[in-house]
Amino acid sequence: MARILKTKTLINTKLATNYGGWMYCETCNENIGYLCYSTYDSLELKYKCNCGSRGEAFLDFEDSQTGHDCNDEMIIIKNRLCCPKDNEPLLTILDKKVASFDLKITCKSCTNIYHKVK
Ligand SMILES: [Zn+2]
Ligand SMILES: [Zn+2]
């Protein structure tokens, strides 16, 4: 079922489809990660690509729940960062393609907000 976006702010960043799929640095066109379509409620990503460009992506939906901060770390299953509570796959950040990143993502299923920094 299609979801209705409330916020979509992409800076120096391209997304393969409306709110998911491969994420690309718009400066060098390298893919920097993959966002799962249906399992997140909101995304806040800031990163510095290896090419030196800084990119940002902010997305949430009309029906997004209010997230809850937690100190848990996401777990990795088959290259995807996943929610440790319900194993929902959330996204992949290609570590080797980005010099640094600051990520907050809310799991739609349990509304936990996961924070990860490199
Ligand atoms: Zn780049
Ligand atoms: Zn969850």
Q: What is the pLDDT along the chain (118 residues), one digit of tens a residue?
A: 689 999 999 999 999 999 999 999 999 999 999 999 999 999 999 999 999 999 999 999 999 999 999 999 999 999 999 999 999 999 999 999 999 999 999 999 999 999 999 9
Between β-strands 89-93 and 98-107, what pairing exists: parallel, antiparallel or unpaired?
A: unpaired
Neighbours of ion ligand 2 (CB under 5 A): 83, 85-86, 107, 109-110
- Rounded to an integer, what distance in angstroms lies between the CA atom of residue 109 and that of residue 38? 10
Instruction: Tell me the C-alpha to C-alpha distance, in Å, between residue 35 and each of 19, 27, 39.
Output: 8, 19, 9
Report how far ligand 2's centroid is from the alpha carbon of 16 (Å). Answer: 24
At 21-50, the pLDDT tens digits run 999 999 999 999 999 999 999 999 999 999
User: Is the distance from CB of 59 to CB of 73 less than 8 angstroms?
Assistant: no
Report how far ligand 1's centroid is from the alpha carbon of 114 (Å). Answer: 25
Q: What are phi and psi of 3, to 5 degrees?
A: -105, 155
Number of separate domains in the chain: 1
Task: Determine the structural domain holding residue 59 and report its residue range.
Answer: 5-36+45-94+101-117
- DSSP secondary structure letter of residue 74: P
Report how far ligand 2's centroid is from the alpha carbon of 53 (Å). Answer: 31
Q: What are phi and psi of 113, to 5 degrees?
A: -100, 125
Ligand nearest to the Cα of 108, by number: 2
DSSP labels, 38-70: SSEEEEEEEEEETTS-EEEEEEEETTPPPPEE-
- pTM beyond 0.75: the answer is yes
pLDDT at 2: 83
- Rounded to an integer, what distance in angstroms lies between the CA atom of residue 31 and that of residue 13? 10
